[in-house]
Amino acid sequence: MSISHEQFSKIKPQGDDERFTTKDLRQLSKQISQLIAKSWLPEGEQIRATFLSNDKEKIKEMFLNNQIDIEMVGVGKYTTIELDWNSFFGKLEESKDPKYAFKFVIAYPPRPSEYNLSDAQLNEWVKNNDENISIPIHPYIPVTW
């Protein structure tokens, strides 16, 4: 069962009296999308290898090493990660595993051809730091949520 942004935004962060905002969620989504885009560039070979390993703990560690803190939304240690190799849209859903409350389903399809998505377009997204833009303009760059 998937949950809406509104439901997700009501989850209380761990160790904090304030709730995170949907802006926090959008920022987290953008950072994951940018990391995926970076993994498709020639210099992203190590990132790509970590995603392709499908090792959930290595992926969480890679996120932290790239300043992507899934704990910021207060559910990190109660969340498992799954990669969807066939979609450009990831999601957050309720986990069926009793050890975890949530499951991040991260879209990680094969990289589109250079004709559909150039290295220049990927670099443009990776370097985008405009807080008002949280979704890539290129439909072939995956997003989560």
Neighbours of 15 (CB within 10 A): 7
Mean predicted confidence (pLDDT) in 25-33: 89
- Neighbouring-strand partners of residue 106: 83
Mean predicted confidence (pLDDT) in 18-29: 73
The predicted pLDDT at position 130 comes to 93
Neighbours of 117 (CB within 10 A): 19
d(CA 81, CA 51): 11
pLDDT for 105-126, tens place per residue?
899 999 999 999 999 999 999 9
Would you say 145 and 9 are in contact if contact means Cβ atoms under 8 Å apart? no
d(CA 133, CA 70): 20
d(CA 2, CA 138): 25
The predicted pLDDT at position 95 comes to 84
β-pairing, 89-94 with 143-144?
A: parallel
